Structure 1
Amino acid sequence: MSDEIKHECGLAFMRLRKPFSFYRQKYGTVLYGLNKLYLLMEKQHNRGQDGAGVAAVKLDTEPGYPFLHRKRSSANQAIADIFSQIGEQINEIQKYHPEIDQHPGLMKGHIDFLGELLLGHLRYGTQGKNNVQFCHPFIKRNTIPARNLALAGNFNLVNKDELFSLINSHPDELDRQSDLGAMMDVIHHFLVKADEASPGSTDIVSVLKKSVALFDGGFTFGGLTGSGIGFVVRDANGIRPCYYYVDDEVIVAASERAAIRTAFNVGENEVKELMPGCALIANHNGTYSIAQILEPKERKACSFERIYFSRGSDEKIYRERIALGYHLSEGVLKAINHDLKNTIFSFIPNTAEIAFYGLLKGAEDYLSKTKVERILSWGKDFNEEKLTEMVSRKVRIEKIAIKDVKLRTFITADASRNEMVQHVYDITYGTVRKNEDTLVVIDDSIVRGTTLRESIIRMLSRLEPKRIIVVSSAPQIRYPDCYGIDMSKLGEFVAFKAAMALLKERKMESLLQELVEKCYELKRNNQLHCENVVRHIYKPFSVEEISKKIAQLITPEEITVPVDVIYQTIEDLHDSCPTNLGDWYFTGNYPTPGGNRVVNNAFLNYMEGKNVRGY
């Protein structure tokens, strides 16, 4: 993706079902659980680079001994930093007690994170500051084990402030800025009440049902209690992803299926999807169950997971990204007048590569069909040279763009910063015939268009192609997200800027004031969640009109090479990703009422000149 956006966090949950002596005997180490947690987190490192954290709960500890431990880091290599610190403690103990690894019980007593329940988290910050205090898991401590709680998740909540009021909570500044702080306060509130009502036998399903029903947002979160209960919960629309795997030795859950498959070397069908509104419950005695916490609603799993966020090593995601590219081939071929001889196909690295293969396959299928038709039309009028020339024709591909370096933001002056951004990508010179070849490049999506304008279009134009066509495997991003992606400022979207520019060109600005008044009226009547007012901004224009304006906006004034933009259609997106139909950032169809409130607030912020998030 050329425009970096912060997004989904990654979750890893484990419950060891055997004694540590079992893992030592079978796998040669009591650190089996920690090793697997590390793998689960590393295989999801794409989901969060602002920080990481782990928590561990030890079962059946003697009174007075610590049973809940947590470590967090906001270092550049946060996962490595955390597990290096854990490793240092292990090495120190083994240095003075070389035989201790032969005694799993002693190891458990001396190593903080040698617990039967483990929770790992990778953070991309969408709320709060990017420092270690905001890294998950959060914890609540209490002298009574059952009232201790560690919590981490992949989510955004749009009713955070209301949650604090519902339970009459008075959070500190840290919790007030954090969705997790609100979620933690609510769950802990009902956890304590449950323990008060029935000490020592917490009904965690009842606790979760009372708590989760209050949350408005998209979420997958996991928790550990001091009494040895673990749980992972998914929202009723299935917005945020969650998968789990269970065998005689472990209970595992994670944000990505491929991470579990790789870490435990299991088949695709052995890893299950946690269904919307469900919770995976791991009990103190090692048994587990799947409980329906919320009534499932219309499935709106995040389509961005399939387009970009999740790793493409998952076979289903790989096939879906191929399909996204393939669906675009017909429109691209039409745009180049089917002139494959004078067209070069390429992609914006790195995550657009799989969709590129799909686009390429579509072009190759067309070329193969054309070859057969031409050869058949010759009848007997051909010779070896003519036939060889025809069957040797290929779709031209080149690796044009190279992601050279991730530039740091140590330069803040706009002019200097823009100059540096131009060099995020480099090009392969000598690949394009000047003023003859059309250059087709595919990207995952176009969010702000900033990198396209300041870097990629400038860079590609140096090759002096006849024309540049930018292809997006996602539809036009028109609306904010509030369920886990940091896209909440309406004015940053290039599609919104294009619609605003068209309104101005056609002298339709009065519509904006009408919509502002409509938002204020809804706000006064506490109805801001009932309607997506921003949809009316796009209604006067076709998708093609907005795409054409976007092409103008991403083309620097001094660039003379014609630039066009082709977007995925909503219909082809759904056909490519049939189980992930969450498309509110493209269509404005939000799965919860909070989404409408966010988009309307974002519009008011824009019109009032406020550069703040919509929730």
Structure 2
Amino acid sequence: MEPLKHECGVAMIRLLKPLEYYKQKYGTYLYGLNKLYLLMEKQHNRGQEGAGVGCIKMHSPAGSEYVFRERALGSGAIQEIFSSINSQLANVHINEQSNEWVESYAPFIGEVYMGHLRYSTTGRSGLNYVHPFLRRNNWCSRSLMLCGNFNMTNVDEIFNSVVEKGQHPRIYSDTVIILEQLGYALDKENNRLYHEFTEKGLDGIPRALAIEDNIDLRPVLASTAPGWDGGYVICGTLGSGDMWALRDPHGIRPAFYYYDDEVVVVASERPVIQTVFNVPRRAVNELTPGSAIIVNKAGKVSVDDILGMGRNERCSFERIYFSRGSDADIYKERKALGRNLVGKILHELDYDLAHAVFSFIPNTAEVAFIGMAEGLEKHLDRYKADRIMACNAEGTLSRDMIEKIMSQKLRIEKVAIKDIKLRTFIAEGESRNDLAAHVYDVTYGIVENDVDTLVVIDDSIVRGTTLKQSIIKMLDRLHPRKIVIVSSSPQVRYPDYYGIDMSRMGEFCAFRAVVELLKEKGMENRLEEVYNRCLEQENVDDAHLENCVKAIYAPFTDDEISAKIASMLTPDDTSAEVSIVYQSLEGLHEAVPGCPGDWYFSGNYPTPGGIRLVNRAYINYYEGNVDKR
């Protein structure tokens, strides 16, 4: 009900044929550019703070540009970028030019395309932080363009290693630092080839071309990436046309690829590639964790193991919330998440389905709702069969009785409609809260006053702000006897440090609830004990790190915490009883078996950097450093 923000989405295209080929076959030189636009628009869900596009022209003559980039801010960034590019192409009358001119000079008509959609998790904003980033050079094989879906947890260490080599990064951000790291390794690879071909008697242009033709990106990545701690898909291209995408060893961030004899494609989501290139699911491959897909200047494609595959920690939140539900597996998993909640929901209803109305908010929870409804229907079918059997045994079975039993249906309704965008930024305090309570309109007449229970499913409850300020107040206007809020994901208890904009420690409703429980139970001293343990962990080596914050939650059951959350998030003037039902960790893993990464629920971070940062987040919370995560 309150949107989470994802780090970003990526899209890359490498054309493997001459540009004239696409003009003849598809009727336009814009084939690659149009495909990039579609890849980005269909991943718009992954980033609305900004976007960027890059292009490499592999056959641009000396004295003309061969690296093009366009970036913009805001939710309309994609449209703004492509409008600008189209204007540039219109100004040069692209359709009136010869193939030779287009290949050499046309802006944004090239062989390599890179697209990026940004959501910030660092609090930094502005065009300077929008990907792709550039490291320009007069040597094509030394020019580097970079974008990624990532968040590094050891930025300080990476920064120090870059500075110690004598470099001077312009901006303190993980993207710039990684760009400089890779640039340094790329320079070394260029120097190696420079000396090799000089010794073979090559000079000038022949030597430069030989370097471009023989660049090996594997040692460039292998000498750099082992020092990265985080979740990432790092995409890059050289000015000479080489291209790659590297995925972290645990597979925390997603990446998929497809290639044939015309094109190589990389994107953050599988169905996007399927749709844009009209290819079957089996043709789109998941990039193996720890591996890179690499395309060299000549167009040779390889998938190389760079870092080795670590323990599977694919992000479960990708499946619950972020990735498009049009993926076949994700659709099934989200339905399973809904089905797995049926037992808890029936318990909350005291098994009285006749006086329960079911719905969902927001639209992203619709698939989980379908699964929940199917599970409830299955329970109702068993109940009907048992009633028929019982009546038959009693000798009371008749056609009228059968019809009465079979007439029992789930009451599924569209309870809320979000049909306006209120400008709540103009108000403050209680005024703002009052406006927020009217963001949704409700459907009146579907709930029997003070009799029915209203069951509404959501995909996640993180902060609880929207729930308290808007959703519960809105549902209470229907006068149900009880409101049951159902979360298809477990309680979010810990910050994410691998690319999802989870809130600061003190903003999680689960964390706030457990702090209140500790105080109520006279266990407030545990807060200081955990703080001291976190301080002790500051200088502990990676092998002995532990998530000390787990001890905050240890004294209480999931149900106790859920009950406290419900109490805290229920507005004082609410008439209905309110309860909150969360997915269990066991239910999550049963529904999403291939993506077990659950650190935001369990606190089991896959890398040392995550553990260090969660302990630091608690220190900041305890010390009152509210501006720090």
The TM-score with structure 2 as length reference comes to 0.94
Q: Which residue, out of 74, 88, 96, partners 1:99?
A: 96
Residue of structure 1 in register with 2:171 after alignment: 175
Residue of structure 2 in register with 1:5 after alignment: 4
Residue of structure 1 in register with 2:585 after alignment: 570
Residue of structure 2 in register with 1:266 after alignment: 279
Q: Which residue, out of 266, 282, 285, partners 2:298?
A: 285
Q: Which residue, out of 462, 486, 496, partners 1:481?
A: 496
Q: Does the residue aligned with 1:417 lie in a helix, a strand or coil?
A: helix
- 5 Å-filtered alignment, 1:399-548, equals 399-408=414-423, 410-411=425-426, 413-525=428-540, 530-548=545-563
Q: What is the Cα deviation at residue 385 of structure 1?
A: 2.6
Cα distance in 2, alignment partners of residues 318 and 391 from structure 1: 30
Residue of structure 2 in register with 1:32 after alignment: 31
- Is 1:73 the counterpart of 2:72? The answer is yes
- Check whether the contact 2:144–2:236 (CA below 8 A) recurs between aligned residues: yes
Cα distance in 2, alignment partners of residues 174 and 391 from structure 1: 71
- Deviation larger for 164-173 or 335-344: 164-173
- Check whether the contact 1:330–1:362 (CA below 8 A) recurs between aligned residues: no
Taking a change above 3 Å as real, the CA distance of residues 131 and 520 of structure 1, as seen in their structure-2 partners, is same
* Residues 144-169 of structure 1: CA deviation (Å, up to 9, x unaligned): 11111110011100111211211226
Cα distance in 2, alignment partners of residues 259 and 218 from structure 1: 21
- 5 Å-filtered alignment, 1:578-593, equals 578-593=593-608
- Is 1:159 the counterpart of 2:158? The answer is no
- Deviation larger for 239-248 or 188-197: 188-197
Taking a change above 3 Å as real, the CA distance of residues 406 and 7 of structure 1, as seen in their structure-2 partners, is farther
Taking a change above 3 Å as real, the CA distance of residues 512 and 75 of structure 1, as seen in their structure-2 partners, is closer
Q: Does the residue aligned with 2:171 lie in a helix, a strand or coil?
A: helix
Q: What is the Cα deviation at residue 514 of structure 1?
A: 1.3
* Residues 125-181 of structure 1: CA deviation (Å, up to 9, x unaligned): 1125332221100111011111111100111001112112112268878620x2211
- Check whether the contact 1:40–1:259 (CA below 8 A) recurs between aligned residues: yes
Corresponding letter in the other structure for 1:161:
D
Corresponding letter in the other structure for 1:124:
Y
- Check whether the contact 1:52–1:121 (CA below 8 A) recurs between aligned residues: yes
Taking a change above 3 Å as real, the CA distance of residues 42 and 406 of structure 1, as seen in their structure-2 partners, is same
- Check whether the contact 2:65–2:105 (CA below 8 A) recurs between aligned residues: no
Cα distance in 1, alignment partners of residues 441 and 544 from structure 2: 45
Q: What is the Cα deviation at residue 376 of structure 1?
A: 2.2
Cα distance in 2, alignment partners of residues 98 and 286 from structure 1: 27
- 5 Å-filtered alignment, 1:204-219, equals 204-219=217-232
- Check whether the contact 2:47–2:119 (CA below 8 A) recurs between aligned residues: yes
Residue ranges of structure 2 left out of the alignment (5+ in a row): 195-210
Q: What is the Cα deviation at residue 384 of structure 1?
A: 2.9
Cα distance in 1, alignment partners of residues 503 and 396 from structure 2: 63
Q: Which residue, out of 103, 108, 113, partners 1:118?
A: 113
Cα distance in 1, alignment partners of residues 560 and 418 from structure 2: 31
- Is 1:222 the counterpart of 2:235? The answer is yes
- Is 1:139 the counterpart of 2:154? The answer is no
Q: Does the residue aligned with 2:483 lie in a helix, a strand or coil?
A: strand
* Residues 302-359 of structure 1: CA deviation (Å, up to 9, x unaligned): 0000000001111111110000001111111122121111000100121001100000
Residue of structure 1 in register with 2:83 after alignment: 84
Q: What is the Cα deviation at residue 597 of structure 1?
A: 0.6
- Is 1:325 the counterpart of 2:332? The answer is no
Cα distance in 1, alignment partners of residues 241 and 78 from structure 2: 24
* Residues 561-598 of structure 1: CA deviation (Å, up to 9, x unaligned): 11011110111101111111000000000000001111
Taking a change above 3 Å as real, the CA distance of residues 405 and 150 of structure 1, as seen in their structure-2 partners, is farther
Corresponding letter in the other structure for 2:367:
I
Cα distance in 1, alignment partners of residues 107 and 628 from structure 2: 39
Q: What is the Cα deviation at residue 408 of structure 1?
A: 4.5
Cα distance in 2, alignment partners of residues 181 and 424 from structure 1: 39
Q: Does the residue aligned with 1:150 lie in a helix, a strand or coil?
A: strand
Q: Does the residue aligned with 1:198 lie in a helix, a strand or coil?
A: helix
- 5 Å-filtered alignment, 1:298-447, equals 298-379=311-392, 381-408=396-423, 410-411=425-426, 413-447=428-462
Residue of structure 2 in register with 1:275 after alignment: 288
Cα distance in 1, alignment partners of residues 235 and 307 from structure 2: 16
Identity fraction in percent: 48
Q: Does the residue aligned with 2:486 lie in a helix, a strand or coil?
A: strand
Cα distance in 2, alignment partners of residues 569 and 79 from structure 1: 38
Cα distance in 2, alignment partners of residues 120 and 395 from structure 1: 45
Alignment RMSD: 1.6
Cα distance in 2, alignment partners of residues 191 and 557 from structure 1: 61
Q: Does the residue aligned with 2:146 lie in a helix, a strand or coil?
A: strand
- Is 1:559 the counterpart of 2:574? The answer is yes
Cα distance in 2, alignment partners of residues 467 and 119 from structure 1: 51
Q: Does the residue aligned with 1:352 lie in a helix, a strand or coil?
A: helix
Corresponding letter in the other structure for 2:155:
K
Cα distance in 1, alignment partners of residues 67 and 19 from structure 2: 17
Q: Which residue, out of 194, 205, 219, partners 2:189?
A: 194
Residue ranges of structure 1 left out of the alignment (5+ in a row): none
Corresponding letter in the other structure for 1:596:
I
Taking a change above 3 Å as real, the CA distance of residues 295 and 488 of structure 1, as seen in their structure-2 partners, is farther
Cα distance in 2, alignment partners of residues 425 and 438 from structure 1: 19
* Residues 54-108 of structure 1: CA deviation (Å, up to 9, x unaligned): 10111132222211111001043111111111111222222xx7532xx333223
Cα distance in 1, alignment partners of residues 564 and 311 from structure 2: 34
Q: What is the Cα deviation at residue 525 of structure 1?
A: 4.8
* Residues 243-296 of structure 1: CA deviation (Å, up to 9, x unaligned): 000111100010000100000011111100001000000110011100111011
Q: Does the residue aligned with 1:600 lie in a helix, a strand or coil?
A: helix
Cα distance in 2, alignment partners of residues 319 and 89 from structure 1: 44
Cα distance in 2, alignment partners of residues 16 and 122 from structure 1: 21
- Check whether the contact 2:360–2:458 (CA below 8 A) recurs between aligned residues: yes
- Check whether the contact 1:488–1:613 (CA below 8 A) recurs between aligned residues: no
Corresponding letter in the other structure for 1:27:
Y
- Deviation larger for 198-207 or 543-552: 198-207
- Check whether the contact 1:139–1:151 (CA below 8 A) recurs between aligned residues: yes
- Check whether the contact 2:52–2:70 (CA below 8 A) recurs between aligned residues: yes
- Is 1:129 the counterpart of 2:129? The answer is no
Q: What is the Cα deviation at residue 528 of structure 1?
A: 10
